[in-house]
Amino acid sequence: MAEFQAAVASLKAATDIAKAAKAVSDFNNVATALAEVNFKLMDAIVAANASVEKQGQQLARIKDLEEELARVKAWEVQKQRYKLTSPQGLSGVVVYSLRQSASDGEPPHWICTSCYESGRRSIMNPQTDTGNWTSYICPQCKANFPTGSRGHWPIEYPPE
């Protein structure tokens, strides 16, 4: 009986050791699993940060495109106010002239054809050289339209 009790005691001791060993093993497994979870969480945080940054870039891009769209729409309205003309007396010169029907109180003027094709309005300004010869200059692209005349060159609304 004593042997049986000793055997039982030994068995219990072995079981306790095994349980302890299993607990350590579990702890190691749990620690390993926690480390993996931590790595995955860090990856998730990095991915979330990258996603937030990308979302911010996409929002900025959308804002830029909305502004560009608004500019293009405004230009589509603006450009209809002008008519491609070859002003009388200026052979070979072609400009966009403000239509009187769309003038909205603005005086007759020309805008640069090159800038018009680039989607912007650039009102040409008269300039006289030292010989008093008048040219019209685009302030944006510096295109030069000589009138071949001296002094003031009157600009009129084009025929509708």
CA distances from 102 to 84, 96, 115, 125 (A): 14, 13, 20, 20
Site track for Zn ion across 117-146, x = CB under 5 A? -----x---------------x-xx-x---
Q: How far apart are CA 61 and CA 83, in angstroms?
A: 34
Least separation, in Å, of the C-beta of 82 and Zn ion? 13
Which residue of 78, 114, 134, 149 would you call a contact of Zn ion, by CB under 5 A?
114
Supply 104's token pair. 């909205």
Alpha helices in the chain (DSSP H): 2-79, 113-117
In the complex with Zn ion, the residue whose CB is nearer, 114 or 128, is: 114
In the complex with Zn ion, the residue whose CB is nearer, 56 or 139, is: 139
CA distances from 45 to 32, 35, 148 (A): 20, 15, 71
Least separation, in Å, of the C-beta of 145 and Zn ion? 10
CA 13 to chain centre: 73
Residue 76's closest CA among 143, 121, 109?
Answer: 121
> By CB under 5 A, which span of 9-17, 19-27, 33-41, 104-112 interacts with Zn ion?
104-112
Supply 60's token pair. 């900025």
In the complex with Zn ion, the residue whose CB is nearer, 39 or 135, is: 135
Least separation, in Å, of the C-beta of 43 and Zn ion? 54
In the complex with Zn ion, the residue whose CB is nearer, 26 or 117, is: 117
112 binds Zn ion (CB under 5 A): yes
Q: Which positions touch Zn ion (CB under 5 A)? A: 112, 114-115, 122, 138, 140-141, 143
